A and B are shown apart, each in its own frame.
Chain A
Amino acid sequence: MSESVHIAGGTGAPLVSVSGLTVSFDRHREEPIEAVRDVSWSIGSGEVLALVGESGSGKSVSALAVMGLLPRNARVAGSIRWRGEELLGASEKRRRALRGSRIGLVPQDPMTSLNPVYTIGAQIREGIRAHQKLSEREMAERTLELLETMGIPHARERMNSYPHELSGGMRQRVVIAMAMANNPDLIIADEATTALDVTVQAQVLDALKKAQALTGAALLLITHDLGVVAGRADRVAVMQRGEVVEQGTVDEIFYQPASSYTRKLLHSIPRLNHTPDLSAPSDVAPDAEVIHSAFERKVGAEGAPILSMRNVGKHFPVYSRGVIRGRVGVIKAVAGVDLDVEAGTTLGIVGESGSGKTTLIRSLFNLEPITHGTILFDGQDVHRMPPRDRRRMRKCVQMVFQDPYASLDPMMTVRDILMEPAVINRMDRKLAERRVMELLERVHLKPEHAARYPNEFSGGQRQRIAIARALMLYPRLLVLDEPVSSLDVSIQAEVLTLLKELQKDLNLSYLFVSHDLSVVAEIAHSVIVMYRGRIVERGRVDELFRNPKHPYTRALLSAVPIPDPRTERRRERIVFNSDTLASPITPVERTGMWRRLFGGRTQEAS
């Protein structure tokens, strides 16, 4: 790996040097908007530079400018040099020659960057064909080699798979394979792991690093996540509102941040306070019963559970492919979950996508009726309540969603959005109006914001509006579904602080769902870890994070990025091999005639 000799202005011409770059976008009948202002950075061969910043900081725009992929209404000034050659003003032909062959791009969402109607093999070959003269056979061999390098199992068969047949992490590795297909000098990874689960994120980052090491390329890592940067970058440039506020080696940035903004960013990253002890190997079998790590159920203690779930399950039918769609099995999205939320506390549910956590919380609102089990609210069976009590319960349990851009009706003013639950539940109008104003104040918004529409607010403000809406009906339990995952780190911290404050003042109970362990560690009192519809481990936050027992929990914890370069470089990851667990699909028992006719179809669906 390269040392930090490649500081801008060091010996020899850097691979890419950007100086005084200013990009503004022309807008229809409005002042042009400046996305990047007088930005300078450079990257040497084989070096890893991280461009870090929150949304709107201009980090992606400067990378697009290097690629020459800015939209037509962009105005670019300054200079971008490629090995000393000026790229601004260069011919489109020259820039196209650089793209794809000398520069490889790994964008954020692999589902949209891969064409769904071509096999992945064909898409990798297309990239090679554009820049190299190889025979079909050589090309196939190269493709296979690339996929194998990226750690894709059964690469030969996978070449003929379509993007939708692969998992998110697998797809992203295919995209990395495409980016390195022509042995580029520079790989740009634009938020390449943001959409992925932690364990997958760690794997993909390792794959990126491997691709970089193999091709000797420089790596431009664009991210909002300082944790991702810590163990992998040589140098870091921190961007804010279109300007570079600070540049330096990774150790300088993390241990002696000069600017107050960097300090604020570092400070607002939620951390796992208890570094887990993962040195000793786990002696727990992966499919063992639920592990209660130091989990004391206080029977009859002051905190009676406000919500209890007993053996709750939700099954979805699986159909075979083909003309006659026989039901061949069920997916147990949630398979027998027990949990308790103590009044006034927060229960965190941790799990990756597909672990059943969303299905579980939707069952609370009867959006997905459960297949079996009982849900008790305040000791009363939810499904056996008389309608009057059920209506009352509905007011007591409210929800905050992940994406504040999708959860507020864009055609309604903030006032109407907040009023809606009150109007539906026939709250006195005067009282409700007053409640709206009081809640706006509670979530640190101003009364005059009531007349505005959601699009006039930032993500963090919108999430606070969503929280205010959930509070309209004086709930006692809030279900928070990844409430901070789509927010910038500094905003995350604000919203978490607000949630804690509200919990204390209003004696609220939270059911807090997240894939981000450090966020859960920050807010939850106890945690359950879900994997494939089951709870694999549960316990008090400090206990569970200090001494995780289940191999899956340990893998999760070992994958959480730690914003500390020294620790991060030394870390070893625990990989959890999911193959040791049974398939989540349970075949339907078929007898006699049916088995003879359709028995063989079970395989297809899995």
Chain B
Amino acid sequence: MPSSTPASAMSDRAVEIGQAPAQEQVYRPWRAIARKFFSYKASVVSLVILILIVLFAFAGGPLWKYSYAVSTSDLSAPPSWEHPFGTDHLGYDLMAGVMRGTQRSLSIAGTVAVLATLIGSIWGAVAGYVGGWADSLLMRIVDLIMIFPLLAVAAFLARQSQGGEHGWLLVALVLATLSWTVLARVVRSVVLSLRTREFVIAAKIAGAGPVRIIFRHLLPNTVGPIIVAATVLVASAILSETALSYLGFGVQPPDTSLGLLINQAQGAISTRPWLFYFPGLFIILIALCVAFIGDGLRAALDPKQQRK
């Protein structure tokens, strides 16, 4: 039908094809991804440990007989059945402290990771894909934020706010605003190499707009580097929070965080080492678990990584 217009040709042929409906395919990509993730032993073990840590931190506090904010009569007691993690020189139970501290640190690290990853990857993808003056503008803003000295900004903000119940949220927000730039740079560089790939041009020819190309094609193909950067972000957020708390900003006693606990134990390394080891152990566990989970997630989301 060379003479017919495109529109009528379309409906004609559509009718022809309508005759042969093939059997519907069961299509559940998420199930396949989950199955693949659970085939990675290290990732699954890490996930279980992380869930236990979360339960310990959030549910453990109310159940445990001591409170992080109330001191006991046992001063500087080493770990025992009464105080599994020991106590400090003021008689505060360390297990209660670690529970509360883990809760705060996890909240901060989680918020930072989610916010910074979201902002950073979208920012970087837009800069890399749109290019030209928009790219220059977006990336100069990134440069500007990167040269802000983290501690100076934090110290300034510390004066403005007075800790309080939501102090940790402020810490998280400040850390997120200062750390998403790393993701923006990583994502932009990957997108720059992806944008001229033929599958992107194919989508353009099919009529896809920039939003679809960025969210459907570019970002999914950047998921590997994004996850790697995000896991690093979790660990570094826990450590940055320590520095900020030290400066008297954000989480303040009697409230506590893992960083703060380690900080307070500084002077007691030789006399009461347990004060140092338990919070440290939790920081390492959390960072390792997140890294392994990230690794499994990256492999599970990437169809190029085959597993039997």
B17 touches A435 (CB 8 A): yes
Does A224 make an interface contact (CB < 8 A)? Answer: no
Within 8 A of A (CB), among B231-281: none
B10 touches A474 (CB 8 A): yes
Does B64 make an interface contact (CB < 8 A)? Answer: no
State which size class the interface on A falls in. 35 or more
Select which of B10, B204, B223, B304 is within 8 A of A455 by beta carbon. B304
Select which of A365, A431, A476 is within 8 A of B14 by beta carbon. A431
Does A78 make an interface contact (CB < 8 A)? Answer: no
Does A450 make an interface contact (CB < 8 A)? Answer: yes
Cα distance A456–B202 when bound, in Å?
A: 20
Residues of A within 8 A of B17 (CB): 434-435, 438
Residues of A within 8 A of B228 (CB): none
Does B83 make an interface contact (CB < 8 A)? Answer: no
Does B156 make an interface contact (CB < 8 A)? Answer: no
Within 8 A of B (CB), among A278-302: none
Residues of B within 8 A of A343 (CB): 2
B13 touches A401 (CB 8 A): no
Does A338 make an interface contact (CB < 8 A)? Answer: no
Does B207 make an interface contact (CB < 8 A)? Answer: yes
Residues of A within 8 A of B204 (CB): 365, 367
Does B205 make an interface contact (CB < 8 A)? Answer: yes
Q: Which residue of B lies closest to A425 (CB)?
A: B207
Residues of B within 8 A of A441 (CB): 20, 22
Assuming the contacts A392-B6, A424-B206, asked whether A367 and B201 have C-beta atoms less than 8 A apart, the reply is yes
Q: How far is the CB of A19 from chain B (nearest CB, A)?
A: 34
Assuming the contacts A392-B6, A455-B304, asked whether A408 and B20 have C-beta atoms less than 8 A apart, the reply is no
Q: Which residue of B lies closest to A398 (CB)?
A: B205
Segment among A250-258, A413-421, A554-562, A575-583 that sits at the interface with chain B: A413-421
Cα distance A406–B21 when bound, in Å?
A: 30
Does B131 make an interface contact (CB < 8 A)? Answer: no
B21 touches A434 (CB 8 A): yes
Within 8 A of A (CB), among B168-212: 197-199, 201-208, 212
Residues of B within 8 A of A410 (CB): 199, 221, 303-304
Cα distance A367–B207 when bound, in Å?
A: 11
List the count of A-B residue pairs having beta carbons below 8 Å apart: 127
Does A92 make an interface contact (CB < 8 A)? Answer: no
Cα distance A171–B89 when bound, in Å?
A: 75
- Interface mask (A434-453 → B, CB under 8 Å = 1, otherwise 0): 11011011000001101101
Residues of B within 8 A of A304 (CB): 2
Cα distance A448–B17 when bound, in Å?
A: 19
Does A395 make an interface contact (CB < 8 A)? Answer: yes
A455 touches B303 (CB 8 A): yes
Q: How far is the CB of B9 from chain A (nearest CB, A)?
A: 6
B9 touches A424 (CB 8 A): no
Select which of A394, A408, A415, A431 is within 8 A of B207 by beta carbon. A394
Q: Which residue of A lies closest to B12 (CB)?
A: A474
A438 touches B201 (CB 8 A): no
Q: How far is the CB of A365 from chain B (nearest CB, A)?
A: 5
Does B159 make an interface contact (CB < 8 A)? Answer: no
In the A-B complex, the 8 residue pairs with the closest CB atoms: A437-B22, A453-B303, A421-B206, A407-B198, A411-B220, A343-B2, A406-B198, A401-B198
Which residues of chain B have a CB within 8 Å of any CB of chain A? 1-2, 6-7, 9-10, 13-14, 17-18, 20-27, 29, 197-199, 201-208, 212, 216-217, 220-221, 223, 301-304, 306, 308
Which residues of chain A have a CB within 8 Å of any CB of chain B? 30, 303-304, 306, 343-344, 365, 367, 378, 391-396, 398-399, 401-403, 406-413, 415, 420-421, 424-425, 431, 433-435, 437-438, 440-441, 447-448, 450-451, 453-456, 466, 469, 472-474, 476, 506-507
Q: A407-B201, A434-B20 are in contact. List 9 more A-B contacts (CB 8 A).
A: A343-B2, A391-B207, A409-B217, A411-B217, A421-B206, A425-B207, A434-B18, A434-B21, A448-B25
